[in-house]
Structure 1
Amino acid sequence: MKGLSIISSLLDNDFYKFTMQNAIIKLFPYAKARYEFINRGKHSFPKNFSEKLKECLKQMSYLRLSNEEKNFLEKSCPYFDYEYLNFLKNYQYNPKEVCITQYGENIKIYIEGLWNRIILWEVPLMAVISELYYKLTGAEPISDKKIILLTKEKLNRYKKLNVKIGEYGTRRRFSYKIQKLVVKVLKKGGGSLFMGTSNVHLSNFFSTKPLGTHGHEWIMFHAAKYGFSIADRIAMENWLNVYRNNIGVALSDTYTSSIFFQNFNQKLSNIFNGIRHDSGDPILFIKKTIDHYKKFKINPLKKEIIFSDNLNPNKVAYISSFCKKKINPIFGIGTNFTNDVGVPSMNIVIKMVKATPKKDWVSVVKLSNVNEKSTGDKNMIFLAKKILHLF
């Protein structure tokens, strides 16, 4: 296997990692965090996988933000100030922040350090794990020609539905090459329905808008610092303190949507452009969202729901049909675009498990709307559910 440089750009990452990094630098510059790899799919890793993975990460340490990439960020993200762009220009991955061990067919990975530094590891690390796994296990995808045809077929279905779509598939892609091929097809044939990609490097390459706001870890940290009950609200207010209403989509399921809506007060409901749905029954969520907006006399047709939970054409058709003339849906499609290539896709995640909101380490948890997507220390999950009356 020649060369182990799977990630070739510092911007080969999801946009929300950079928006969160900027906010962390502004508000929590001394906070530390710890992330851990979770092998949900119980995948068996080949011999010496950990050593090959370490080689890939070593190659990532040579990446730097180019002047051209910096110019792209300045133009497409005017809310990124000089301070942050200068930080990013001097940033480089440090493989010492990532601890990798292998026991037989199992690998353990954790990332630890200053939160504003290590936040960039999660997405590209997952992309490397995925692509390296397929390379070392000899997995053969369908041909590029078939991938192009399949992507066009999906795109045609989305066109008939007249829905807006974005590509969100970096973390579990089969390979960088296939993700790039898919985005090329979407860019060429998607017209105004293709909103762009969450991958900042590919956004630059294809001259599209980078998509994303913030992830669950942003709210998880706030829960550790301010408490579970008000974490959603404080996290949203802090987001507005940094970005005003420039990147205004709220994430709804870190501590279940019922708790989120309690925190999503009239002011926040008006300011944020919409809400992201990432777990649970989408139809039930649509109904709750519409009722919530109407309670504050807000027209739901002026708001958006960004759906991002394991989407495919059939699911998109089902959701969009229910949304019609009620609220505006946008669909962030990930694995179904970048890893629908004739081999089983990996079921892996990397999640924050601890943070230092003050001086000491505190376990952080995510509850989600479905138990399978909850993460963190079992005792802390129990405590969170007790505090939030979720039993």
Structure 2
Amino acid sequence: MPIIPSLLDTDLYKFTMMQAVLHQHPGAQVEYLFRCRSPGVDLAPHLDAISAQIDALCALRMRPDELGYLRGLRFIKPDFVDFLGLFQFDRKYVQLRRSDTEPGGIELRLRGPWLHTILFEVPLLAIVSEVYMRAEHGPADRDEGLRRLHAKAVRLRDAVGFEDCTLTDFGTRRRWSHAWHDEVVVQLRETLGTRFAGTSNVHFAMKHGLVPQGTMAHEWLQAFQALGPRLRDSQVAAFDSWAREYRGDLGIALTDVIGLEAFLRDFDLYFCKLFDGMRHDSGDPFEWGERIIAHLHAHRIDPMTRTLVFSDGLDMERVMALYAHFRGRCRMSFGVGTHLTNDLGPKALQIVLKMVRCNGQPVAKLSDTPGKTMCDDPGYLAYLRQVFAVPAAEP
């Protein structure tokens, strides 16, 4: 049975970025690299199962009702929907084999046109996660999963002073399974009501009448390190291009592609006025929030008119602590992933699939959390640090 039943079974920001790629950089060539951050995980025995699911993924096409749903989203343009009506994954862009350097590891790379590879990331990660969890741990312990999920949702629902604290499901990539993800979304909607803001997963948003959530991911800014005009101006160019595509819509800026310090230097008064908020995805979230608020004050922007989106490895305790800390000082939103969609007992895989090259040139994610930095060219990483005056991480 296919793990991915629909081309909509992915995060909204893949479609929003893909639309911008179609309109602005349809000829860009890219490479993505898979990494498993969980130590001691043996994925090699599951290669055949993963490969079979990739074949099934490549057989999918958009259904008329799915195209109609996308056409109804205000920021999706008709020509992009027409393109998606013709779109199909192509297996020739996927390289999958046993790793030569990592015991038990797999080598998973994507190479090809950005326009035709950009949608692969989320379903490929969901496939790896579900194949592994099912093979290593058997059927999901539904009762235990529901017990844990209900306790989290009720804790937030019944907390005094948290009536405006809302959650969004960000858990597609590392979920236990598609079926469990579906149950999570239903349970959160029923328990939290309006405090459940929606889901990043377009398939479940369509199925359950929820708001699909998302704007941009790291790869959008990473690609501009190679797309120009020059490396030092890459973040500014990426934000300018995004604003040109969406004209004030989808205005949440990602802050940690080259680190917060470099972001703040580039995110001047123009961008502070133009964008609706910023998203945190690495580093200390309390320090990050304080610095973002100070930055807005310095540019005479009321933080209560902007949204701070927290999305880095959140659990319910961290969500509530952040909300209590920043309550009344800014708007907030919380994107919670693995803690919701893969918390049934066994430990979830920490897996990523990140862009490492664009148009033959290395690109990097220089994270505020050192372990999340990703680049396959140490020389380029050192150069990026030099250009943006980002010191090397402490050993």
- Check whether TM > 0.5: yes
Mapped contact 1:253–1:260 kept (Cα < 8 A): yes
Q: Which amino acid aligns with 1:25?
A: L
1:155 — aligned with what?
Answer: 153
| Residue identity matched to 1:384 | L
Matched with 1:165 is 167
Deviation of the 1:384 alpha carbon? 0.7
Q: Does 2:303 align with 1:296?
A: no
CA contact (8 A) 1:187 1:206 kept: no
What TM-score do the two structures reach when normalised by structure 2?
A: 0.94
Instruction: Report matched runs for 1:61-140 at 5 Å.
Output: 61-75=58-72, 77-103=73-99, 105-140=104-139
In structure 1, list runs of 5 or more residues that go unmatched. Answer: none
SS at match of 1:230: helix
Residue 219 of structure 1 contacts residue 235 of structure 1 at CA under 8 Å; is this kept in 2?
yes
Match of 1:224 among 210, 226, 229: 226
Determine helix, strand or coil for the equivalent of 1:367.
coil
Within 5 Å, give how 1:7-26 maps onto structure 2. Answer: 7-26=4-23
1:146: Cα distance to partner?
3.0
1 CA distance for matches of 2:50 and 2:386? 40
Match of 1:367 in 2: 366
Q: What is the CA deviation profile of residues 240-292 of structure 1, one whole-angstrom value per residue up to 9, with x for unaligned ones?
A: 11111111100001000111111111121112110000011111111111111
1:105 Cα shift?
A: 2.0
* Alignment partners' CA distance in 2, 1:149 and 1:48: 32
Provide the C-alpha distance between the structure 2 equivalents of 1:95 and 1:158, rounded to a whole number of angstroms: 43
Residues of 1 paired with 2:306 and 2:226: CA distance? 30
**Aligned counterparts of 1:157 and 1:275: Cα–Cα separation in 2:** 27
Deviation at 1:45, TM superposition (A): 2.9
For residue 340 of structure 1, give the secondary structure of its aligned residue in structure 2. coil
Alignment partner of 1:257 is 2:260: yes
TM-score (normalised: structure 1):
0.95
2:24 corresponds, among 7, 22, 27, to 27
**Residue correspondence of structure 1 range 253-332 to structure 2 within 5 A:** 253-332=256-335
- Contact preservation (8 Å) 1:17, 1:119: yes
Contact 1:98 1:109 in 2 (8 A): yes
Query: Following TM superposition, by how much is the alpha carbon of 1:145 offset from its aligned partner in structure 2, in angstroms?
Result: 3.0
State the aligned residue count.
382
User: 1:46 & 1:273 partners in 2: Cα distance?
Assistant: 41
Report if aligned partners of 2:33, 2:353 keep a CA contact under 8 Å in 1: yes
Identity of aligned residues (%): 30
Distance 1:44 1:287, change over 3 A: closer
Separation of aligned partners in 1, 2:154 and 2:239: 36
Q: What residue ranges of structure 2 are gaps of 5+ in the alignment?
A: none
